[in-house]
Structure 1
Amino acid sequence: MKVARFHAKRDVRVEEIPAPPETLGPRDVMIRNRFCGICGTDLHEYAAGPIFIPVEPHPYTGAKLPQILGHEYGGTVVAIGSEVTNVKVGDRVSVQPLVSPREDYFGKRGLYQLSESLGIIGLGWPWGGMAEYSIVNDYNVFVMPNTVSDEQAALIEPTAVVVYAADRGGVKPGSSVLVTGAGPIGQLQVLAARAAGASRIFLSDTNDNRLAMARQILPDVITLNPRSVDVPAAVRAQTDGSVGADVALECVGAEAALSTCIDAVRRQGVVVQVGLHVGKPAVDGFAITFKDIDVRGSWCYPTLMWPRVASMIGAGILPAEKVVTRRIRLDDVVGEGFEALLDPAGQELKILIDLN
């Protein structure tokens, strides 16, 4: 079957490999993949990896280079193992890609995303979404309601990230929220903040093209470019009492963006770190203490929130499909996918691979 595999930095190849075995393990589910998104994590692997992708066999999953990419995807169940009860052949599903022990410290507490043995389908698992077929565990698949399209099923994973981040920040009806970074996660974070009830939402980014896209997605979002505007001052000027935002969500993974969030949030506000930093940013500890604020991490999501996110998307409360700017073939994943997303002009947000 045809797959897109990561071999090394700037070396993703579309190639043929043997189809999955017909004999499945008792808890295995085989999927005919339909749509797969290119994640920012995939992009980091392509541009600078391997980062998460294991060079030596993963201690829990056994996966190693070369790695089939893709962890934002869905498809149709084509075969199941003898002990699978949660899905049947023919079901349309979305893949929750976290693989971890059920019996370690965190697994026993249902905090599977925190396991030290965590593997991720498409990054540290023998299969991935950028392929015609994949094999996953039964706990990795959730049946999609008829209100959720095949495209939307591939968007549940990144949407779960931002819904959880909004939860971590305590965003509630009437909140004022600053989001730094207008990439796909930042744009989805804006939608998640509105879905949670935020009434005033600011979005900061240095790319005017992406800020313009944000205004098309949510017309009343207040966009700010730090190259021309003092973002914290602008946020304070447009919040009640000029105190700053209730919640600030950093969706870039950049030191300057984190500093902006700390500066722009009100006293006793909450800063949520969503983006992954590649280095170790300097943090203004005095401001954190003096302003009495919380700075919280937000790693992945609770793995059982798929039905909740699917219902939000299906009901139109969180229209994740609005961030999709292009659909491509698997054969074109490098030139029209990875390279297009690395273009500094920032003309693309979320690119979906159509595996049909």
Structure 2
Amino acid sequence: MSEVRHPASARTARAARYHGVKDVRLEQIQVPAPGAGEVTIAVSHTGVCGSDLHEYFSAQTVTPTEPHPLTGATLPVVLGHEFAGVVVEVGAGVTERAVGDRVAVRPTYSCGECASCLRGHPNTCTKLAFHGLSAHGGGLADFTNVAASMTFALPDDVSMVQGALVEPMAVAYHGVRLAVTEQTRVAFVGGAGPIGLGAIAALRSLGVATIIASDPSASRREAALRLGADEAFDPAVTTLGEALAGRTLDVAIEAAGVAAVVETAVTELGPRGTVVLLGIHERPMPFDPTSLLYREVRLAGSSTYTDDDYRAVIAAMAAGGYDPSGWVETRPLEELHSTFEELRTGGPVKVLIELQPS
């Protein structure tokens, strides 16, 4: 695209700005010069996330209607928190990045002061904010500014498409890492959407011997096998117990937001097995906590990711993991609204918006 420059290195950019439910507008915005410690990124690809769909179709939830306590941002905001691009300008004091660097972006902001941050867990910060949901700027724009510390270099053999997948794959990797130990032999992933597929790839990269997945969609089951699952079954046809065929289940990753997956996994887990919740559940579910007791089964939540998760996913991509072929599609920014509609009714497993050619 042709670039229009303004005083103080400001840039004009196309951007998808969220104003409210069913109100995302493609607008021209001004992206200022990067501040101290910041870089300007020419965005290559940005993923459309389930949280974007929820904000667009259902309810304003994460996007701030009043100034966010950490970032000060308020509606309208630029969407897009799963993205990768090229550094085109660096601010004062930046030494770890240079113009031309290809990077993936960790979009989270944390306060550094709450109990989570002080204990070294900024991913569970009480004021957690996201670039592309609750900050000034986002990845569904031609350019955006972020702190250099939020960027991670992409090796030459990791594509920009993969770079835009690092964020959701790191979500899955973090959850898997909470559960997998040296004793983990058999793992189950319920749901083969983007996060479930990321969990399968993470389990494979961590050396789990047997990975079983389930999903009602045949195309998603095929993607699960491509990403590293040994078996993938339709839960309408086969039960988890039947799929296990007498094997002891060590870890279950719930990636569908479906209560039945949790209930079934808890029933089938072996001694000291772990269920990790990655799916977003829109309603409470009936649950008998006594079912956890006698086998010492653990139920764990997982929130976002750490810098180490980003590094691990990128390293696994460089080693040949997380192949996007067959389950990731790209669209131009002008097709964002039709992409929202397509994803709402099923459609592709994962769609990336291509802002600029790789």
- Decide: shared fold, TM above 0.5: yes
What's the C-alpha RMSD, in Å, of the aligned pairs?
A: 1.9
State the distance in 2 between where 1:291 and 1:120 align: 38
Corresponding residue of 2:249: 245
Corresponding residue of 2:312: 308
Corresponding residue of 1:355: 355
Identity percentage of aligned residues: 33
Q: How does 1:11-90 map to 2 (within 5 A)?
A: 11-17=23-29, 19-22=30-33, 24-90=34-100
Q: TM-score, normalization: structure 2?
A: 0.90
Question: What is the CA distance between 1:179 and its match in structure 2?
Answer: 0.5
Unaligned runs of 5+ in 2: 1-12
Corresponding residue of 2:8: none
State the distance in 1 between where 2:309 and 2:275 align: 22
Local SS of the residue matching 2:68 = coil
Local SS of the residue matching 2:340 = helix
State the distance in 1 between where 2:213 and 2:126 align: 34
Q: How does 1:260-339 map to 2 (within 5 A)?
A: 260-316=264-320, 318-322=321-325, 324-335=327-338, 337-339=339-341
Question: What is the CA distance between 1:263 and its match in structure 2?
Answer: 1.6
* Contact residue 100 and residue 112 of structure 1 kept, 8 A: yes
Question: What is the CA distance between 1:178 and its match in structure 2?
Answer: 0.7
State the distance in 2 between where 1:212 and 1:86 align: 40
Which stretches of structure 1, 4 residues or longer, exceed 4 Å deviation after superposition?
A: 171-174
Q: How does 1:123-272 map to 2 (within 5 A)?
A: 123-172=133-182, 175-218=185-228, 221-231=230-240, 233-239=241-247, 244-272=248-276
State the distance in 2 between where 1:304 and 1:86 align: 17
Local SS of the residue matching 2:313 = helix
State the distance in 1 between where 2:121 and 2:227 align: 33
Matched to 1:126, the amino acid is H
State the distance in 1 between where 2:121 and 2:326 align: 29
Q: How does 1:93-108 map to 2 (within 5 A)?
A: 93-108=103-118
Name which of 2, 16, 19 aligns with 1:4: 16
Unaligned runs of 5+ in 1: none
- The number of equivalent residue pairs is 344
1:288-323 Cα distance to aligned partner (Å, 9 max, x none) = 11321011111111134322221111111x224246
* Contact residue 245 and residue 264 of structure 1 kept, 8 A: yes
Structure 1 pair 174–299 and aligned structure 2 pair: CA distance change class (3 A): closer
State the distance in 2 between where 1:226 and 1:132 align: 41
* Contact residue 171 and residue 197 of structure 1 kept, 8 A: no
Question: What is the CA distance between 1:66 and its match in structure 2?
Answer: 1.5
* Contact residue 323 and residue 349 of structure 1 kept, 8 A: no
